Amino acid sequence: MTASFLILAILTLAGGVAAVTLRRLVHCALALAVSFAGLAALYLNLGAEFAGLAQLLVYVGAIAILIVFAILLTRGSETEDRAAFSPAGFAGAVLALAVFAVLAWAVVTSGAAHSAGLGSAPPSTMREIGFALMQRYVLPLEVIALMLTAAMIGAVIVAVREKASEAGTTAGALPRPEPGRELRTR
């Protein structure tokens, strides 16, 4: 275990702990981005360059920013006077500690703690990853493409404002759209 691995692990875990304990939601989202970036650096440290860069693009670039947008859209950044933790929060923390104890016990007592492991990183060039994606894993790749399309359409349909409620709340403030030019939401 190298020093760089330890530093990156501490950064990742500190970001995760800050993300679940800070009171202001925007600070939580930014700490979450730090944790995701630390994980991407851990992937790079372990020799998985493609996964690390994909993690950086998707998690830090898309998901963390999406969470910030959701916080701003739900006005979660203004509500800091209320309690941030649920009434059963203590039981949840104890349960998480128990889960960690079981997992750590399983890791320490298993053979993974004693096996030597490989000395050098296995080769994972872009060429081999591309061949694997296009040959052996082409069916999962197509399924993922279909699922991403379905998820995008579903997210738009779920999050779009319904026309009836919009007409009810803004009827006095905005002029009604002409009958032929109504926006179709479904």
Partner 1 sequence: MTPLAGCLLVSSLLFSVGLAGALTRRSAILVLAGIELMLNAANLNFIAFWRFGAHPEALTGLMFVIFSIAVAAAEAAVGLALILAIYRHARTSDVSEITEMKG
* CA atoms within 13 A of residue 74's CA, in its CB half-sphere: 10
Token readout for 144 is: 């993922």
Neighbours of 186 (CB within 10 A): 6
The answer to whether the CB of 39 falls within 8 A of the CB of 55 is yes
Report 104-123 residues binding partner 1 (CB under 8 A): 104, 107-108, 112-118, 121-123
By three-state DSSP, how is residue 127 classified? helix
- The secondary structure element, H or E, covering residue 92 is helix 89-109
Q: How far is the CB of 172 from partner 1 (least distance, A)?
A: 19
Going from the C-alpha of 119 to that of each of 41, 116, 162, the distances in angstroms are 20, 8, 58
Q: How far is the CB of 181 from partner 1 (least distance, A)?
A: 24
What's the 3-state SS for 119-134? CCCCCCCHHHHHHHHH
Q: How far is the CB of 179 from partner 1 (least distance, A)?
A: 26
Measured from the CB atom, the residue of 91 and 171 that comes closer to partner 1 is 91
Report 166-185 residues binding partner 1 (CB under 8 A): none
Window 66-105: contact mask with partner 1 (x via CB under 8 A): xx-xxx-xx-x-----xxxxxxxxxxxx-xxx-xx--xx-
Q: Does 148 bind partner 1 (CB under 8 A)?
A: yes
Q: How far is the CB of 120 from partner 1 (least distance, A)?
A: 10
d(CA 128, CA 104): 34
Measured from the CB atom, the residue of 96 and 171 that comes closer to partner 1 is 96
Q: How far is the CB of 167 from partner 1 (least distance, A)?
A: 15
Report 18-57 residues binding partner 1 (CB under 8 A): 19-20, 25, 28-29, 32, 35-36, 39, 42-43, 46-48, 50-51, 54-55
